[in-house]
Amino acid sequence: MAIFISHITEEASVALTLKDWIESTLLGQINVFVSSDSDDIPPGDQWLDTISKALDESQVMIILCSPSSIIRPWINFEAGCAWIRKIPIINLCHSGVDRGDLPEPLSRFQNLNIEEDNFGQKLFKAIKKHLKLEIEKFPRIDNEAFKKELSAALMEISSTTAHVEPAKKKIDTAMVRLEEIEIKILKVLASEDGTTRFVGPHGFDAKSLASAFNITVTKMIHFLDKLASEQYVLRRFGAGDPRYALGSRGRAFLVENDLV
């Protein structure tokens, strides 16, 4: 059984603390993947392939949600992978973020707050439920020690980010270099002849696009989320899987470069 912890680099200390407590508490029953752990991605590994494999094998995703992380494309990319696979997603809010602050689609999933007094009990109860663990009673953990280590990890984040200057605003320009496959995706999204078999009433789904381009769904979502973060593509959420449509910037890019 496997759990994937999605986090940004700055919050690695929290992810690693959670990994250590979950694996040691349920020794031999659960593996927790954290990309910041050198044991999970050893030097020399193709990191994207390793992450892709971990996403495919995970049965539960835990997402660390902070003011910084919930606006990062990579967090939304990994959440999208879990969404498509229909595995449970547990949001762990911290550093001032509450469940009401989460954007779609993160706001639709179960939320816990790391700084709550009974966080440990709630987390392990959720893990037991989602993984259907045949455990009558959990091994006793030192909740005070767990809380103390998490608090120290959160303090480490605060001390690190306090000295980081705000990022400069990204220049909005159509001269951003796109990969060949990204340009092809934009051209497909621009097609309106009704003959493309994978188009739906509200856009294109990642699974069918991946099949058409003969790549994995994980890689296709990576490209789509990158394009969406730059506003070349619109991402729409509904009852089913997310769908993607050409954004105004994507249309302008194709027109200005004589690609349509």
For 5, the enclosing helix (H) or strand (E) is strand 2-6
Q: Which residue has the higher pLDDT, 197 or 126?
A: 126
With left for phi above 0 and alpha for psi between -120 and 50, is residue 223 left, alpha or beta? alpha
- Whether the predicted pLDDT of 171 surpasses 50: no
Q: Are residues 127 and 205 in the same domain?
A: no
Q: Are residues 142 and 200 in the same domain?
A: no
Whether residue 171 is contained in a domain is answered as no
Whether residue 59 is contained in a domain is answered as yes
Whether residue 230 is contained in a domain is answered as yes
Q: Which residue has the higher pLDDT, 202 or 140?
A: 140
Tens-digit pLDDT profile for residues 143-163: 889 989 999 998 888 665 544
For 226, the enclosing helix (H) or strand (E) is helix 217-229
Averaged confidence pLDDT in the chain: 82
Residue ending a domain, among 161, 190, 212, is 161
Q: Residue 170: its pLDDT value, please? A: 38
Q: Are residues 101 and 63 in the same domain?
A: yes
Q: Are residues 152 and 212 in the same domain?
A: no
Q: Are residues 193 and 140 in the same domain?
A: no
Q: What is the DSSP string of 150-174?
A: HHHHHHHHHHHHTTSPPPPPPP--T
44 pLDDT band (50/70/90 cuts)? Answer: confident
Number of domains forming the structure of the chain: 2
Whether residue 239 is contained in a domain is answered as yes
Q: Are residues 47 and 117 in the same domain?
A: yes
Q: Are residues 16 and 109 in the same domain?
A: yes
60 pLDDT band (50/70/90 cuts)? Answer: very high
**Among 22-26, 59-63, 82-86, which range has the highest average pLDDT?**
59-63
Q: Are residues 147 and 41 in the same domain?
A: yes
- Whether the predicted pLDDT of 14 surpasses 90: yes
Whether residue 175 is contained in a domain is answered as no
Q: Which residues on adjacent β-strands are paired with residue 111?
A: 91
Smallest CA-to-CA distance from 104 within 125, 87, 89, 123 is with 89
The span from the CA of 78 to the CA of 80, in Å, is: 5
Q: Are residues 155 and 186 in the same domain?
A: no
Q: Are residues 199 and 235 in the same domain?
A: yes
CATH classification of the domain holding 242: 1.10.10.10
- Whether the predicted pLDDT of 168 surpasses 60: no
**Candidate from 33-47, 159-173, 181-195, 196-210 with smallest mean pLDDT:** 159-173
Write the DSSP symbol of residue 8: -
**Candidate from 93-107, 130-144, 147-161, 162-176 with smallest mean pLDDT:** 162-176
Q: Are residues 9 and 97 in the same domain?
A: yes
Q: Residue 88: its pLDDT value, please? A: 94
Whether residue 209 is contained in a domain is answered as yes
C-alpha angle 243-249-253 in degrees, rounded to nearest 5 = 110
Q: Please say whether the beta carbons of 82 and 111 come within 8 A.
A: no
- Whether the predicted pLDDT of 200 surpasses 70: no
pTM for this one?
0.61
Whether residue 198 is contained in a domain is answered as yes
**Candidate from 15-24, 40-49, 234-243 with smallest mean pLDDT:** 234-243
Residue ending a domain, among 112, 128, 161, is 161
Whether residue 166 is contained in a domain is answered as no
Q: Residue 230: its pLDDT value, please? A: 80
Q: Are residues 228 and 152 in the same domain?
A: no
Q: Which residues on adjacent β-strands are paired with residue 203?
A: 200
- Whether the predicted pLDDT of 205 surpasses 90: no
The span from the CA of 62 to the CA of 111, in Å, is: 10
Q: Residue 19: its pLDDT value, please? A: 95
Phi, psi of 88 (to 5 degrees): -60, 140
Which residue range forms the structural domain that includes residue 22?
A: 2-161
CATH classification of the domain holding 89: 3.40.50.450
